[in-house]
A and B are shown apart, each in its own frame.
Chain A
Amino acid sequence: MIEKGNANSGAPPVVLVANRGEIAVRIIAAARRIGASPVLAASTADADSPAARLADRVIVIGPASAAQSYLRPELIATAALQAGASVVHPGYGFLSEQPELAELLEIENIAFAGPRPETLRAVGDKSSARKVAVAAGVPVAPAVEVDDVEAVAGLGDSIGYPLLIKAVFGGGGRGIRLVNDAGDLARLAPQAAAEALAAFGNGALYLERFYPAARHVEVQVFGDGEGRAQIFGDRDCSVQRRHQKLIEECPAPGLSAATRAVMHDASRALVQALAYRGAGTVEFLVDTQSEAVVFLEVNARIQVEHPVTEEAYGIDLVAAQLRLALGGDPELPDVPPVPSATVLELRINAEDPENDFRPSPGTISRVRWPSGPGIRVDTQLEDGYRFPPFYDSLMAKLIVRAHSRNAAVAAARSAAATVEIEGVTTTLALHEFVLSHPDFIRGGVTTSWFGPTWEHRSEQRMESVR
C-alpha cells in the first residue's frame, strides 16, 4: 500500500471527515473499518454532535453557517493539515463536487476521496457533461439548435413531440416552452426567440425532447482512476417531491434486460472515457412510454442513497473510496447486474408532510429504531439530540433488505411502523402511505407520481374531517 500525505509509517492514516450529520457518522465507520483514525471537521453547531463523539478528534472550522464553515475549501484544507490527514472525505453536498477543495489538497499532498479536479469540472455543468456523454456514446435526449425560427417543422419532427423550446443562453428554467405538436412549435418558436433576445441578449434557441412520464434510474459506478470501471447495479429513485428523493430502491424494478444493459454499458463507457476515479453515479431518465433511456448527469460523489447498493451487494463503497484514495486496492468484487436481494431506503426528514413539508427542527426527546434481519439505520439521531436548523432536514435513512421486492416493501412498511421519534415532526407518515399504495407496490412509478398523489390524499383527508 502506498503511503500518502503526512502519515508516519506505523501510525494509522488520518481520515478528515469534511461533512456532518448521518454521512459523517457513515464515513467515520468506514475509516474505522480500514483501520484509519477519523477526525471530524465541524462547525460550532456540530462540535458536540454524535459524530463528533465517535471521531478521535474534532477540529472546529467555523460558525454554524455553512457558508462560513463547511462550504469553505481553505478551512477544510487547513483542518486537514492540522489533523495530519492522509485523506479528506467530503461526503455529499457541501464541497464534495467542488474542484477547489481537491486542488488545494493536491498542493498539500493530501488525498481527496473523490474524482480528480478535472473530472469534477468536466461533469460539473450540464452542457459540458452532455458533451462528455455524447463523446462516450451515452444516449442523451435528442436536441437540435434552431437556425431559422420560421422553418422549424422539420426539426420538430426529427426530435419528436412533446418537446421543449429552450434558449441557448438561458438559465434557471426561464424561457422554456412546452410544445405538443408542429402547430404549437411554428407559433411559439418566433415568440421564444424574441423573448430570449430581450432576456438574454441572444435569440438562439434549441429544441429538446421532453419526457412527461419518466422514471429516475441511476447506475452506481466505481473507477480505479486509470480507465477500469466496475458497475454495481442500478437504483430507482422516482419517488420524489420537487426533485428531492424520498425513497430509493435497488435494483430498479421492472426494467427489461435490454434497457438495463443500455444504462450499464453507457455508464461503463463514461467511466472509461473519463478514467473516472472512485465512486460515482450516472443518472438517467427512463421514458415509461417508449422505454427510451436518456442521460441526465453524473454525480461525482458518494450519494445519499448509496446504502441500498451496499446492502444489495454486500459491499462498503465508502471504505472502498478511502482505500483507493490512500493508494490501495478498493477491495470491491465484480458483481452481476441484478443483485439477488431487493433493498429499499426510506429518507426520514425533519419536515411536516401534512403542512407542505415545512421544516421542523427541534430536540429529539426519544428515538427508537427497529431491528431484525436486513434492517440498517444510518443516522446521527440519539435521545436528546438537538436537530439544528442550519442544515438540511435529513434525520435518518431506514434501509431494509429482503429476498424479493414484495418482501422488501412489506418489511420496510413494518419496520417504518415501529420507528419512534419524539419531539419533532417527521416524514414517516408519507412512507406508510407510499409503501401501502398499490401504484408503488406494483413498482415503476414516475417522478411525477408522488406530488399529485400526496396532494390528492391531503385533500381527501381534509374532506373527511369536514
Chain B
Amino acid sequence: MTDDATPSWQHLLDLVAQLDSGSYDSASVTYGDVSVQLSRSGPLTAPAPVPSRASTTPATTSPEPSGTIIASPMIGVFYRCPSPGAPPFVELGASVGADTTIGIVEVMKMMNPVSAGVNGTLTSFLVKDHEQVEYGQALAVVAEASSQ
C-alpha cells in the first residue's frame, strides 16, 4: 500500500497541522500521487440540527449534561488523534478555546478539522475514535468557562 512516492501519515498530519494554523476555507495539495483536500465548514458554534436518532443517544450519559455540544460538521469518520498512536488533539479535561481543534471528520479522504467553538473544558466525547458519524451528530461536550 505504501511506497516511496506515497507520503506517510505523519507527513499528511504535519501538513494538516500546518494548514490548520493558517486561515483558509479550502486547500488542495498534491503530493506525489496522493492529493489531499481540506476544507473548513466554519465554526459550528450554533447548535446544528441534530438528527432524530442521534437525539436518542443524548448527553444523559455525559457527566456535564449542561455543557455545550460540539456537533459534527459533516458525515464521515471521526478521528480524535492526528495519527494512529499519536496523542489525541485534546485530552479529556483539557481546556479548549473556540479555535482549538478537537478532532477531524474525514469524508472521502477530505479532512475536516472540528473546532471546539467555545472556550471551556472538554468534559466528554460522545463518539469513539474512528467512529462513523452523521452530520449534526453530537461529538463532544464542553463545559463553558463562566463568563463573569
Contact = CB atoms under 8 A, between A and B. Distances in A.
Interface string A86-99: 00000000000000
Interface string A61-97: 1111000010000110111001000000000000000
Contacts of B135: 44, 60-63, 69, 75
A82 B107 CA distance: 11
Contacts of B134: 59-61, 82
B51 A74 contact: no
B49 A63 contact: yes
A60 B51 contact: yes
Nearest to A61: B75
Contacts of A82: 75, 132, 134
Contacts of A78: 75-76, 107-108
A439 interface: no
Contact of A75 (B53, B75, B132, B137): B75
A303 B99 CA distance: 46
B48 A74 contact: no
Given A60-B51, A63-B49, A74 B136 contact: no
A349 to B, nearest CB: 26
A74 B108 contact: yes
B147 interface: no
Contacts of B75: 59-62, 75, 78-79, 82
5 closest A-B pairs (Cβ-Cβ)?
Answer: A74-B108, A60-B51, A44-B49, A60-B134, A62-B135
A58 B110 CA distance: 23
A48 B136 CA distance: 14
5 contacts: A59-B134, A60-B51, A60-B135, A78-B76, A82-B132
Contacts of B53: 58
Interface in B1-21: none
A186 interface: no
Interface of B: 48-49, 51-54, 74-76, 107-108, 110, 132, 134-137
A77 B48 CA distance: 22
B38 to A, nearest CB: 13
Measured as residues with beta carbon below 8 angstroms from the partner, the interface class of chain A is 10 to 19
Interface in A28-59: 44, 47-48, 58-59
A58 B54 CA distance: 11
Contacts of A178: none
A188 interface: no
B108 A77 contact: yes
Contacts of B132: 82
A410 interface: no
Contacts, number: 50
Contacts of A104: 108
A202 B132 CA distance: 52
B107 A74 contact: yes
Given A61-B135, A74-B110, A82-B134, 4 more contacts: A59-B134, A60-B75, A63-B135, A78-B76
Contacts of A47: 49, 51-52
Nearest to B49: A44
B108 A63 contact: no
B102 to A, nearest CB: 20
B33 to A, nearest CB: 14
Given A59-B134, A82-B132, A75 B52 contact: no
A77 B49 CA distance: 22
Nearest to B77: A78
A44 B110 contact: no
Given A44-B136, A75-B74, A82-B132, A58 B108 contact: no
Contacts of B136: 44, 60, 63
Interface string A421-433: 0000000000000
A34 B79 CA distance: 37
A72 to B, nearest CB: 9
A438 B31 CA distance: 68
Contact of B74 (A44, A58, A59, A62): A62
A103 B49 CA distance: 30
A341 B124 CA distance: 64
B131 to A, nearest CB: 11
Contacts of A62: 74-75, 135
A82 to B, nearest CB: 5
B48 A63 contact: yes
Contacts of B137: 60
A75 B108 CA distance: 8
